[in-house]
Amino acid sequence: MTGEFDQVIDRRGTASLKWDYSRRYTGLEGLLPLWVADMDFPAPPEVLQALRRRVEHGIFGYTLEPESYFQAAMDWMLRRHGWELQREWLLPAPGVVPAISLAILALSEPGDEVVIQPPVYYPFAQCIRRNGRSVTENPLILEGRRYGMDFTHLERSIGPRTRLAILCSPHNPVGRVWERDELERLAEICLRGGLILLSDEIHCDLVLPGFRHLPTASLSAELAASTVTFLSATKTFNLAGLGGSLVVIPDAGLRRRFQSTLESVWTGVANALSTAASEAAWRHGEPWLERLLAYLQANYEFLVRFLEERLPELRVMPLEGTYLAWIDCRALGLPDAQLKARILERAGVWLDDGPMFGPGGQGFQRLNLACPRATLRQALERLAGALGS
Ligand SMILES: Cc1ncc(COP(=O)(O)O)c(C=O)c1O
């Protein structure tokens, strides 16, 4: 039986970053792309309907997020994550990465240090360095097949110029959904060191059955006062090409500092389509999300079985959250450049190469599971042909 997520839709010719630019980024054509984190699925029907209605209207003048947009986000966070937001905490921003960049500018000085926990979403380090701040790495530790945070190393890494720490929760690319005690230990160290926590929770809704996302700032009032949280409907509902995000800052002083930087780059106008789509998604997208999560879980299980049978040297890490599988290829014994070349050139599959995510990424590949099973199967068959013994 084919279900709603099984349908293969040709995305070529839509200016899709994932499907239309392989020549520009790899020099190769005809690749099957399972790299950048968007999905090969249409957005929920209610979102498409809201967009059609908005497009039918035909006028796309300057737009501001209506109050109903913020209310929809607040209702969603309370319903899905038990976090009661207050309206004045919320600031709209163009996207999560630009908002993180603005938070770095607003809440630290040139030359200050910002902690990240690699292997981690690579734009974090770029946002820090390109804004003239320096990266302090607190690498995750891999115990067996589970990643954890290195609290001892973190405490030792905090110096007089360390101002911020960026948390990826759930963690891209290792797929962890952080537990309460882990978040509490991290929070305690950050609070003691006087660090502001930038909590990127863009993947918060993409948590597989059996796991629960805990918003960092919901853990205590003290922590809320020193946390900036980044949210968006774009990852959950596959709206990245429309943009838009929400920044949650409970502390009035931090909020003023962030807002002043936000205003300095003149980002006061909203995207008319993004606003309509995100609001519809938060209001009506929950049943679709439940179906999506079941499909992603089944894709992950398919991947696990396939690797066990056909590519036993490759080991995929347990997936708790995100739709990004983190695959340990070290047993192949290939240097990174060779592994990458084999996957791209011999298999014709485009994955995200582990070393991009920083220390700890060597020998790993990140595979995007948010595609029809037929696409996943085809990619895995190609990989088996190129990497199998
Ligand atoms: C952890 C994380 N943060 C942010 C983003 C992108 O956010 P935006 O498109 O809103 O800039 C991604 C996209 O993959 C991500 O994985």
C-beta 240 within 6 A of ligand 1: yes
Alpha-carbon span 145 to 318, nearest angstrom: 7
Q: How many residues does the chain have?
A: 389
User: Which position has the token pair 């863009």?
Assistant: 202
Per-residue confidence (pLDDT) for residue 143, from 0 to 100: 92
What distance in Å separates the CA atoms of residue 49 and residue 370, rounded to the nearest whole number? 22
Spatial separation of the C-alpha atoms in residues 349 and 26, rounded to whole Å: 11
Expressed in angstroms and rounded, the spacing between residue 189 Cα and the centre of ligand 1 is 25
* Alpha carbon distance, N-terminus to C-terminus of the chain: 33
Residue from 100, 202, 238, 322 to probe ligand 1 pocket by mutation (most atoms less than 8 Å from CB): 202
Q: What is the mean pLDDT of each run of 10 residues along the chain (389 residues)?
A: 91 97 96 98 98 98 97 98 98 97 98 98 98 98 95 97 98 98 98 97 97 98 98 98 97 98 90 97 98 98 98 97 98 97 98 98 98 98 92
CA of residue 195 relative to chain centroid, distance: 22
Residue whose CB lies within 8 A of the most ligand 1 atoms, among 207, 230, 235, for a mutation test: 235
**170 cis-preceded (ω within 30 degrees of 0):** yes
Task: Please tell me the predicted confidence (pLDDT) of residue 283.
Answer: 98
Distance CA 14, CA 32 (A): 16
Pick the closest to residue 173 from 354, 371, 23, 19 (CA basis). 354
Q: How far apart are CA 67 and CA 87, in angstroms?
A: 9
Q: What pLDDT, on the 0 to 100 scale, is given for residue 1?
A: 61
Evaluate: CB of 113 within 6 angstroms of ligand 1.
no
In order of 93, 98, 99, 232, the CA distances from 267 in angstroms are 7, 10, 11, 16
